[in-house]
């Protein structure tokens, strides 16, 4: 989201920072990766990091941005699939997979989605719009409760992502998602 700098050394520094942040997010998670660590890994001073990205949200948005955009694009494709009764669940599953990509991302995503401002919040709004479109189609086919809203669906997806982040076995994600879709009560 943040604009590309003009000077070539600045562009190189920026690229290195995003690369270092991505690597550290991958290794230790969003929270444990400190700004100073990221700057050190990129081989620049802390001031340079703060100059390129005003806060951690901006940096996070840069790292996960492309993946979030892909989600909106995926939403545009899915409803075309020939009457798959589970296309909504598939998309939500993809959303959960994205949020669990880095440890700690669920919290940042939830906060950004609530305030809806900042570079990450803007991305969340786009995802919410995509969800709203899918939800409408699912509703027409009677595949979801009529009163379910897009923010609620996303909040549930984020909650599932958070829960499988703190859980021990990683395969529980699908199970939790199933429980949310089918409900705790018997159908």
Q: Would you count residue 29 as binding DNA (CB under 7 A)? A: no
**Min separation Cβ 11 and a second copy, Å:** 35
Q: Would you count residue 7 as binding DNA (CB under 7 A)? A: yes
Q: Would you count residue 162 as binding a second copy (CB under 8 A)? A: yes
Q: Please report where in the chains the tokens 């159908």 appear, as a residue.
A: 187
Q: How many CB atoms lie within 10 A of CB 148?
A: 14
- Among candidate residues 79, 68, 146, 51, the one with its CA nearest the CA of residue 102: 68
- The window from 7-15, 70-78, 100-108, 169-177 that contacts DNA (CB under 7 A) reads 7-15
Which tokens sit at 145?
């409760």
**Min separation Cβ 56 and a second copy, Å:** 15
Positive or negative: CA dihedral 153, 128, 99, 90: positive
Q: Would you count residue 37 as binding a second copy (CB under 8 A)? A: no
Q: Would you say 40 and 34 are in contact if contact means Cβ atoms under 8 Å apart? A: no
Which tokens sit at 125?
């709004």
3-state secondary structure of 44: coil
**Min separation Cβ 42 and a second copy, Å:** 28
CA 45 to chain centre: 28
**Min separation Cβ 145 and a second copy, Å:** 5
Positions in 80-119 near a second copy (CB under 8 A): 107, 110-111, 114
Which tokens sit at 141?
């086919």
186 touches, from a second copy, DNA, none (C-beta below 5 to 8 Å by class): a second copy
H helices of 53-104, where?
Answer: 56-77, 87-99
Residue of 20, 21, 25, 56 that binds DNA (CB under 7 A): 56
Residue of 23, 35, 72, 94 that binds DNA (CB under 7 A): 35
- The window from 20-28, 61-69, 73-81, 158-166 that contacts a second copy (CB under 8 A) reads 158-166
Q: Which residues bind a second copy (CB under 8 A)?
A: 107, 110-111, 114, 142-146, 148, 152-153, 155-156, 158-160, 162-163, 166-168, 172, 175-176, 179-187
């Amino acid at each position: 989201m943040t604009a590309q700098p003009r000077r070539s050394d600045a562009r190189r520094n920026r690229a290195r920072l995003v690369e270092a942040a991505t690597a550290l997010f991958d290794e230790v998670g969003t929270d444990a990766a400190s700004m100073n660590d990221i700057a050190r890994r990129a081989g620049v001073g802390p001031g340079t990091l703060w100059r390129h990205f005003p806060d951690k949200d901006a940096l996070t948005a840069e790292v996960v941005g492309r993946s979030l955009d892909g989600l909106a694009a995926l939403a545009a494709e899915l409803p075309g699939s020939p009457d798959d009764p589970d296309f909504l669940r598939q998309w939500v599953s993809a959303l959960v997979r994205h949020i669990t990509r880095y440890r700690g991302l669920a919290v940042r995503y939830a906060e950004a989605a609530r305030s809806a401002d900042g570079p990450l919040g803007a991305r969340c709004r786009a995802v919410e719009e995509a969800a709203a479109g899918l939800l409408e189609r699912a509703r027409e086919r009677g595949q979801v409760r009529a009163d379910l809203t897009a923010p609620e669906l996303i909040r549930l997806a984020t909650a599932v992502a958070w829960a499988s982040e703190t859980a021990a076995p990683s395969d529980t994600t699908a199970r939790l998602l199933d429980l949310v879709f089918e409900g705790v009560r018997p159908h």
